[in-house]
Structure 1
Amino acid sequence: MTLHPQEIEARFRRHAVRVTRQRAAIYAALVETGSHPTADDLYRMVTRQHPAMSRNTVYYTLGVLRKAGLVQEVNVGHEVARFDGNVTMHHHLICVQCGRIEDVMDQELDQVKISNRRAKGFHVLGHRVEFHGYCASCREGRRDASPSQG
């Protein structure tokens, strides 16, 4: 999805985020990518168009955008944090081999609830379901590496 500068500005204003060219470029790169990049991945993406941008600006901006609710941080195991520009209700498929993350839109999963008894006093604000396994590419690679039977 390509975001127009006016749409980015409107989203920032709705979430009380000061609009700068650097922030807009970082946000647009994240929203427009179908992947779930790390901060370093985003830095490499945005410096193609904005070579003077610092790595620190990318890290700081991601913190501002996350706190404002414009992006989500996705932590996969003990890996470096990844970021998601899609803040609508959705879930993830995560490859345990290559780390690929795919969005899953599923209304049934959106409706999952936990009983008050099982919540054990937690006030639940939301949930996200993660499915862990092997993506098609890694599954194919595993088949190629397995000993042949015969």
Structure 2
Amino acid sequence: MAKAKERESHRSRLRAAGLRHTLPRERILAYLDRKNTHPTPEELHQGLRKKGHNIGLSTVYLNLQVLRNAGLLWEFKDQQGHTRYDGYTERHHHLLCVQCGAVQDILARELPEFNPEPIKTAIENRTGWFVEEARLELRGVCPSCQ
């Protein structure tokens, strides 16, 4: 029963974003929903294969971009410059361990003193760019590496 609800939730999310439901999209969303990891496309591909899902790496890449463009995933770079994906779309920021590469989510609502609006406005005024979003990224050493 829980699996059926989960599948319907993913289908609803895809429909709400104006996307067609496909098994690769559903499986990518399900994988990212269950994991508190922030995988690279290759790590995601391997994780899906370990679960018995025969999805090609190019299909993973294509669908990650589609889901990101629809706002269903976040994309960011880790400290080594690898692209990582995050299925948690509530506004949040990341703590990145410079030693082991661990990533931890920090909810924006837990940081009431951080207001990105003045930063966005200052950058827009100085550069002429339209800043769509400002994210806070904190780099340091996690408890396991200390």
Indicate yes or no: 2:55 matched with 1:53. yes
RMSD value, Cα: 2.0
Partner of 1:126: 133
Amino acid at match of 1:129: L
Deviations 1:74-123 (A, max 9, x none): 11244320100111111111001111110011241553331645541333
| Rounded Cα–Cα distance in structure 1 between residues aligned with 2:133 and 2:123 | 15
Q: Go from structure 1 to structure 2 and tell me whether the alpha carbon gap of 1:44 and 1:4 turns closer, same or farther (over 3 Å shift).
A: same
Aligned to 2:77: 75
Q: Tell me, yes or no, if the aligned pair for 2:116 and 2:135 is still in contact at 8 Å.
A: no
What runs of 5+ residues in structure 2 fail to find an aligned partner? Answer: none
Are residues 6 and 133 of structure 1, via their aligned partners in 2, closer, same or farther at CA, if it must alter by over 3 Å? same
Count the aligned residue pairs: 138
In structure 1, what is the equivalent of residue 112 of structure 2?
108
Distance 2:114 2:27 in 1: 31
Q: Is the 8 A contact 1:90 1:110 kept in 2?
A: no
Matches within 5 A, 1:8-19: 8-19=10-21
Q: CA deviation at 1:51?
A: 4.0
Report what 1:42 is aligned to: 44
Superposed CA deviations along residues 20-39 of structure 1, whole A, max 9, x for unmatched, are: 11210111101211011111
Aligned residues with identical type, % of pairs: 32
Secondary structure of the equivalent of 1:56? Answer: helix
Question: Equivalents in 1 of 2:18, 2:83: separation in Å?
Answer: 24
The answer on whether the counterparts of 2:123 and 2:131 sit within 8 Å (CA) in structure 1 is no
Q: Amino acid of the residue matched to residue 140 of structure 2?
A: G
For residues 31 and 137 of structure 1, the distance between their equivalents in structure 2, rounded to whole angstroms, comes to: 24
Matched AA of 1:112: P
Query: Taking structure 1 as the reference length, what is the TM-score of the superposition?
Result: 0.82
Report the CA distance between 1:7 and its aligned residue. 0.6
Identify which of 64, 68, 89 aligns with 2:66.
Answer: 64
SS in structure 2 of the partner of residue 99 of structure 1: coil
User: What SS does the aligned partner of 2:116 have?
Assistant: coil
Deviation readout 1:58-83 (Å, 9 max, x if unpaired): 11111111111100111124432010
Q: Could you state the TM-score of these two structures normalised by the residue count of structure 2?
A: 0.84
Aligned counterpart for 1:136 among listed residues 121, 139, 143? 143
